[in-house]
Structure 1
Amino acid sequence: MSRRLPQIHKVVEQDIGPFRQEQLDLEFSNGERRHFQRLVSRGHGAVVVVPMLDAETVLLVREYAAGLHRYELGLVKGRIDAGETPEQAADRELKEEAGYGARKVEVLRAMTLAPTYMSHASWLVLARDLYPERLAGDEPEELEVVPWKLAELDQLMLREDFSEGRSLAALFIAREWLGKQA
């Protein structure tokens, strides 16, 4: 069923760091009025990188997660800088966080975090044909690089220190995509 988008009567904006908070006064097609809030990203999006060391092994990184105040295992990820493509950002972030570059980078799709209240999108990028190269990044400490077999995703998904949804979704998507390419 296709529905007409709600009419926006008014938007009240407030700056909150890297996002702009908007309060929307909406009217739905059935006449109901509601106020919704959304966060609008100020940047150019982000990348979530699936770096394949070989056909069966992905590289994960362990880094400090301030939101949970613990070290978290996940994929290489970061923001897209002005003027960068998702492919360029993925290669740069891979060099900064894991110490590898990729000769082959491919965008698989965009993923959203919480589309009911947030505009932010992350591009899922598959990186293959890796070679050692390190760039200085903004991390306060060198990140631990952890090779993980895609065949053991069932063990990874249940680990307490692997909880970030984008990383989990990206690995399953990449595994399925790679399986169809083989």
Structure 2
Amino acid sequence: MPTKPEILKRETVMRSRLFRADQVHLRFSNGEERHYEKLVGGGSGAVLIVPVLDDNTFLLVKEYAVGLEDYHLACPKGAIDQGENILDAANRELKEEVGYGARKLTFLKKVHLSPSYMEHGINIVIAQDLYPERLQGDEPEPIEVHQLPVADLADFCLRADVCEGRSIAALFLVREWLAKPENLL
């Protein structure tokens, strides 16, 4: 296993309400030095929920994404509030965005979108044994909920309005997880 580079200096070069960018001066084990910039995470983290309506159906949300300047279909997700654990945050976000709570929540994996320059990660949680319950969220408009038959996942992910990489990865991971008999309800 390679030796991790030595951090010689770290300095914040930009800060906004949502992001902080640091410049990091590194020395690698072979003596080479480089300056990198990275987006630094903040807050308590985030959750992405794959709601499993039944063994054959996922639930997704259609909402506006300012990065795309358009609507897209994805898994519900949101920030973990201060003092909240991953599973409590997942259930709260599920109730706010999808209108369901879950009796069974399973942490699956933490994934990173672009670890070469972003510290941000998201915790994938599987929500099963759903029941209707809605909480008021912070969304600026009502969110549409869509059903996705698990058998249609590959074709679904080729649609133009399905482009969020974390959701695509999570859906495939959960499909494989559900294929194991011990994980079915």
TM-score computed with the length of structure 2 as normaliser: 0.95
State the 1:21 CA deviation: 1.1
Unaligned runs of 5+ in 2: none
Q: What's the % identity of the aligned pairs?
A: 52
Aligned length: 181
- In the other structure, the counterpart of 2:8 is 9
Per-residue CA deviation, residues 15-73 of structure 1 (Å, 9 max, x unaligned), is 23222211011111111111001111111111110001111100010001111111100
- In the other structure, the counterpart of 2:98 is 98
Per-residue CA deviation, residues 86-108 of structure 1 (Å, 9 max, x unaligned), is 10011000000011110110101
Unaligned runs of 5+ in 1: none
- In the other structure, the counterpart of 1:44 is 44
Q: Distance in 2 between matches of 1:174 and 1:148?
A: 13
- In the other structure, the counterpart of 1:114 is 114
The answer to whether the aligner puts 1:151 opposite 2:156 as a matched pair is no
The answer to whether the aligner puts 1:88 opposite 2:88 as a matched pair is yes
1:52 partner SS: strand
Q: Distance in 2 between matches of 1:169 and 1:100?
A: 22
Question: Is the Cα–Cα contact under 8 Å of residues 18 and 43 in structure 1 kept in the other structure?
Answer: no
Q: Distance in 2 between matches of 1:38 and 1:81?
A: 24
Per-residue CA deviation, residues 112-146 of structure 1 (Å, 9 max, x unaligned), is 11111111111100000101111110101111100
Q: Distance in 1 between matches of 2:132 and 2:141?
A: 18
2:180 partner SS: helix
Code of the aligned partner of 2:38: R
Off by >4 Å, runs of 4+ in structure 1: none
The answer to whether the aligner puts 1:53 opposite 2:60 as a matched pair is no
Code of the aligned partner of 1:41: G
